[in-house]
Amino acid sequence: RHEPLVLGIETSCDETGIGIVRGRTLLSNTIASSMDEHARYGGVVPEVAARAHLEALQPAIEAALAEAQVTLDDLDAVAVTSGPGLAGALMVGIGAAKGLAVSLGKPLYAVNHLVGHIAADILDQDAGPLEYPTVALLVSGGHTSLLLVRDLTHDVELLGETVDDAAGEAFDKVARVLGLPYPGGPEIDRAAASGDPGAVAFPRGLSRASDMAEHRYDFSFSGLKTAVARFVEANPEMRADDAGRADIAASFREAVVDVLVTKALNACRDHGVPRLLLGGGVIANRRLREVALERAAAAGVAVRIPPFSLCTDNGAMIAALAAELIASGADPSTLAFGADSTLPV
Ligand code: KG4
Ligand code: ZN
């Protein structure tokens, strides 16, 4: 079978990602990030992100083609994230993808960013082929979603998601409260290393017995963020001291990790699915990886974690999903589609 050569474009947030795959083989994964430009605002600024994509796209496409040692004419298809994400940022990528597809006379595939995150795992050849069904937990600065995946190309069920902040967003906000720079996830991870995770009992959102009927697979991190802020206000001497800050960071991290892993493994057990896939930038968290691997092993659940370069936003995952769609015989998208910032799975 001819494996389709696909170029994927990802511009839903602050990374301009261009990936090239041949079927399930990764040929290149080029990422240009505008994160440094957002750092002084303490979060991603949509207009700044859109303009940065515009500037980064052309060189990123050229770099990806060079790395993959292919030309535009070699491509079988172009793929692009159509949502969810920042509307302006998405539009830049979609415009570029449409322009490429039309000028080259190649089919164009609009791809869902959330499903794309899971497709990243197809490219992780060391772990062997992706087996269905699998539960997938996506945790990043923009999403916290629990999915039941029966088939990537047409059967992805959203089990639950955050009702307020994404997990990464909580890390970023709590980092600010602790006086640590943006992005806060890696900073808190570092600060927490020497802390006691049991020092402060922070709340586990939507984990009470009364939450289990309606919100069994949903997450909430805004109450936790407020609890940390209140605690810091009441205990300023702890924030001022390295050991105290380490204890707060470790206790906060433990609360996030505990609730993420507990709900993901609940989903595995409830659905009789002994497989769990982790994706998204927050998967870089050392405690999350540790606790997920430990508790999953105890529950008889096999965990897959793509390499970090495929966990954060990238174009390769978008190309990989399009290659699966092509293999499944799916029709290409018409040119009529636009950016859908709230696109569901
Ligand atoms: O997937 P990603 O690169 O971009 C989005 O789609 O949002 O995720 C970025 C998020 C940020 O909120 C960042 O603070 C968080 O991932 N993050 C971490 C760690 N490294 C990055 N959160 C916790 N622990 C980490 N080590
Ligand atoms: Zn993402």
Q: Name the CATH code of domain 5-122+310-327 (choices 2.60.40.10, 3.40.50.1980, 3.30.420.40, 3.40.50.10490).
A: 3.30.420.40
Pairing of strands 25-33, 15-22: antiparallel
Which amino acid belongs to residue 8? G
117 and 95 Cβ atoms separated by less than 8 Å: no
Which amino acid belongs to residue 176? R
**Domains 5-122+310-327 and 130-305 belong to one CATH topology:** yes
Closest atom of ligand 1 to 183 CA is 14
Closest atom of ligand 1 to 256 CA is 23
Q: Which of 45, 56, 59, 58 is nearest to 13 (CA)?
A: 45
- Three-state DSSP at 120 gives helix
Cα–Cα separations (whole angstroms), residue 155 to 66, 131, 148, 244, 272: 35, 13, 8, 47, 17
DSSP single-letter state for residue 158:
E
pLDDT at position 37: 86
pLDDT at position 35: 85
pLDDT at position 1: 60
CATH number corresponding to 130-305: 3.30.420.40
Minimal-distance CA residue to ligand 1 atom 7: 141
Can you give the residue ranges of every domain in the chain? 5-122+310-327, 130-305
Ligand located closest to 139 CA? 1
CA 52 / ligand 2 centre spacing (Å): 17
Minimal-distance CA residue to ligand 1 atom 19: 185
Cα–Cα separations (whole angstroms), residue 338 to 16, 25, 89, 92, 271: 18, 28, 12, 11, 35
CA 143 / ligand 1 centre spacing (Å): 10
Minimal-distance CA residue to ligand 1 atom 22: 185
**CA gap 34, 48 in Å, rounded:** 8
pLDDT at position 39: 82
Tens-binned pLDDT, residue by residue, of the chain (345 aa): 689 999 999 999 999 999 999 999 999 999 999 888 888 887 789 999 999 999 999 999 999 999 999 999 999 999 999 999 999 999 999 999 999 999 999 999 999 999 999 999 999 778 888 999 999 999 999 999 999 999 999 999 999 999 999 999 999 999 999 999 988 999 999 999 999 999 999 999 999 999 999 999 999 999 999 999 999 999 999 999 999 999 999 999 999 999 999 999 999 999 999 999 999 999 999 999 999 999 999 999 999 999 989 999 999 999 999 999 999 999 999 999 999 999 999
pLDDT at position 54: 96
333 and 13 Cβ atoms separated by less than 8 Å: no
Testing ligand 1's pocket by substitution, the residue of 12, 81, 90, 140 carrying the most ligand atoms inside 8 A of its CB is: 140
Minimal-distance CA residue to ligand 1 atom 26: 285
pLDDT at position 167: 97
Closest atom of ligand 1 to 167 CA is 12
Closest atom of ligand 1 to 280 CA is 1
Residues contributing to the annotated binding site for Fe cation: 113, 117, 313
Ligand located closest to 49 CA? 1
Ligand located closest to 249 CA? 1
The residue written with tokens 């997990």 in the block is 167
Instruction: Write out residues with Cβ below 6 Å of ligand 1.
Output: 13, 140-142, 168-169, 171-172, 183-186, 189, 280-282, 284-285, 312-313
Q: Which helix (H) or strand (E) holds 93?
A: helix 87-104
Testing ligand 1's pocket by substitution, the residue of 10, 139, 282, 285 carrying the most ligand atoms inside 8 A of its CB is: 282
Closest atom of ligand 1 to 286 CA is 26
List, in sequence order, every residue forming a beta bridge with 81; answer none if it has no partner: 111
DSSP single-letter state for residue 8:
E
Closest atom of ligand 1 to 184 CA is 14
Residues contributing to the annotated binding site: 113, 117, 138-142, 172, 185, 189, 285, 313
List, in sequence order, every residue forming a beta bridge with 253; answer none if it has no partner: none
- Three-state DSSP at 117 gives helix
**CA gap 16, 14 in Å, rounded:** 7
pTM: 0.94
CA 191 / ligand 2 centre spacing (Å): 25
Ligand located closest to 256 CA? 1
Cα–Cα separations (whole angstroms), residue 157 to 113, 115, 150: 14, 10, 8
Q: Please state the φ and ψ torsions of residue 134, each to the nearest 5 degrees.
A: -140, 145
Testing ligand 1's pocket by substitution, the residue of 113, 171, 258, 318 carrying the most ligand atoms inside 8 A of its CB is: 171
CA 140 / ligand 2 centre spacing (Å): 6
Contacts of 72 (CB under 8 A, 6+ apart): 7, 65, 100, 104
**CA gap 305, 315 in Å, rounded:** 18
pLDDT at position 330: 97
